[in-house]
Amino acid sequence: MKNLKIFNLGSNNSLALEIAHNLGRELGDVTVKEFNDGEKYVQFNENLRGRRVFLIQSTNQPDGNLLTLLFALDAVRRAGGNPIAVIPYFGYARQERKSAPREPVSARLIADMLENAGASGVLTMDLHANAIEGFFKMAKLDQIYARPVFLDHFIDTFSSALNSDELVIGSPDASGSGPGRARAYARHLSKRLAGKNIPLVVLDKRRDKHNTSDINYVLGDVENKIVLLIDDIFDTCGTIIGAAQALINQGAKEVIAAGTHGIFSKGALAKLHASALKKIFVTNTIHNPEVIELSQDPNSKVKMISVGKIIADAIRNINNNESVSGLFD
């Protein structure tokens, strides 16, 4: 561990501090600032030569956070270090393919930019599309999952529902990676419960334009069940709110949602509190003061669960040239 250095680039100070604490390290000394004209500036204030340097930066609000990360990668490379980008939330992951003529494949461009800036590795969590793993030609991409952290919490929180066979796991979207994600949660939860069957439900969603969707029908039995919906990103939350209402209409007893990345744009948190959802679990990959405040309120529907330890464990394993997949398999 002596060659390891960790730096916080400013997108999520509390998560960076927690990661460093779990590693038993101090965050390195780096200056990150913005000039009056909006240009970003990064300077490392300690020797990096021959060190493996982990740079912690989520790329929500990408125009600022992504540029800062790119500049930091370049600076580390030029200083003789070995830079690894730790990106808890990978921005532009929802633009991993062309869905209409004359569109870019933005996630591929981001991967190219990270590599060109000098990243020898990228550590990220719950990519929206696993195809992004194939966009990196030189840098080693390690994807970890919030699933073990969520499952630890769910086994305690929903022990009664699990014992009475009331809990089912669902995907709010039948397309993309949604059903596979829900299936993985059900499979790993079953493993932890000595092979107990965890039923799955899927909702069919038809999207007609950006950030809007309609829920059409429910595939699976939800009558008198507690449905745990699994998603990767909570943005406007129209999909998850519509799914919850459709499930209640089909006789579900309660609907709970869990998602890794909480963007919560366009008044989404207020809409969630007014929705049919009983509880919303989200991690801290994205810094959101409102979510932190709500999570501390016992009357709030929103509960934040930290992924700082599992990210720290992944950094430790990468630095020690050990397996990362063992953290969640």
- C-alpha 322/C-alpha 316 separation (Å) is 8
Beta strands 52-56 and 4-8 are parallel
- C-alpha 84/C-alpha 69 separation (Å) is 10
User: What residues are labeled active site?
Assistant: 205
How many CB atoms are located within 10 Å of the residue 143 CB? 18
Length of the chain: 329
Residue type, 11: S
Q: What is the 3-state secondary structure (H, E, C) of the chain?
A: CCCEEEEECCCCHHHHHHHHHHHCCCCCCEEEEECCCCCEEEEECCCCCCCEEEEECCCCCHHHHHHHHHHHHHHHHHCCCEEEEEECCCCCCCCCCCCCCCCCCHHHHHHHHHHHHCCCEEEEECCCCHHHHHHCCCCEEEEECCHHHHHHHHHHHCHHHHHCCCEEEEECCCCCCHHHHHHHHHHHHHHHCCCCCCCEEEEEEEEEECCEEEEEEEECCCCCCEEEEEEEEECCCHHHHHHHHHHHHCCCCEEEEEEEEECCCCCHHHHHHCCCCCEEEEECCCCCHHHHHHHCCCCCCEEEECCHHHHHHHHHHHHCCCCCHHHCC
Dihedral angle over CA of 211, 216, 219, 223, nearest 10: 110
